[in-house]
Amino acid sequence: MDGFELYELGRKLMELGEDPEKSESAGDSSGRPPTATSVDERLAAAAGIQQPDQIKDLVETLERLAGRLAGTVAPDTFDWYTTDTPPWDTGRPQPAIRELAEAGAFRGRVLEIGCGTGEITLMAAALGRPAVGIDPAQTAIETARGKARDRGLDARFQVGNAFELGKLGEQFDTVLDSGLFHVFSDPERVRYADNLATVMPPGARLFVLCYSDRHPAGPGPRRVTQDEIRATFANGWQVDSIDAATLDNRMYADGIPAWLATITRV
């Protein structure tokens, strides 16, 4: 299915979505009324396919296309923390990142991008590392600063954007991304890698904990494949390892299947 066919299919689906009666009243050339009721079935009907396997393949193809082409929600568009506690804010460092810290993986100056309310950055500071956390959410940064004061930790937090890392004017030996990478579209991933290069000298290491394609398709952030991680960091980087991990989330008792990537700036 080429791009134009996908466009036409999407247009048909939009028409059905905007006018439910149209989907109920429209029949095929024999005059028989359609039986499709779910979104997937309506999508398959618009594409003219009937086999369950074909329907599944079509839905997965469209999800991948949406991830590549559609704009994602910009990290600085709104502040989740002003109205509620986001499901990813568990009040403690992600276990996979804690294990890295316990293994001595945090070297030199540490930067956390998308730090939220600061638990991982504070953990780095508690280990004696000069630690900086940035996040576009003002409320989250204020909360993180309060935690640092209350715990007597010398961690610095500031409002910042993952696409403007050069404004920090600093270099870091360890950079942490816990639950951010999977929100980016393909073009944004390229911009992100370019920005990381401005704050990471050769030899610096990046740790990325993100949604995995082992997590079933559905609502939420993009499911990331290992190949996508390698493609994003193909030039100027060395992907040392990508391991299966788990992202803790208050909406999932058993956590979310994730990848933990270790990447070195070369």
pLDDT attached to residue 234: 97
Residue 5 has pLDDT above 80, yes or no: no
Using DSSP, state whether 148 is helix, strand or coil.
helix
- Fold assignment, 80-265: Rossmann fold (3.40.50)
Please give the distance of CA 253 from its chain centroid, rounded to a whole number. Answer: 19
**More confident site: 31 or 58:** 58
pLDDT confidence of 71, banded at 50, 70, 90? very low
Q: Which amino acid is at 252?
A: Y
Q: b/e for 210-224, b at 16 or more Cβ within 10 A?
A: bbbbebeeeeebbbb
Residue 216 has pLDDT above 70, yes or no: yes
CA-CA-CA-CA dihedral for 212, 216, 220, 223, to nearest 10: 30
Name the pTM for this structure. 0.71
pLDDT confidence of 41, banded at 50, 70, 90? low
Report the candidate in 3, 142, 154, 146 with the shortest Cα–Cα distance to residue 64: 3
pLDDT attached to residue 91: 84
Strand partners, 238: 264
**More confident site: 85 or 188:** 188
Report the candidate in 202, 163, 165, 205 with the shortest Cα–Cα distance to residue 185: 163
Give the whole-angstrom CA distance, residue 98 versus residue 176. Answer: 11
Domain boundaries, the chain: 3-69, 80-265
Give the whole-angstrom CA distance, residue 87 versus residue 84. Answer: 9
**More confident site: 4 or 137:** 137
For 152, the token pair is 């007597």
pLDDT attached to residue 51: 67
Model pLDDT for residues 90-127, shown as the tens digit of each residue? 889 999 999 999 999 999 999 999 999 999 999 999 99
How high does pLDDT run on average in the chain? 81
Q: Which amino acid is at 135?
A: D
Model pLDDT for residues 161-187, shown as the tens digit of each residue? 999 999 999 999 999 999 999 999 999
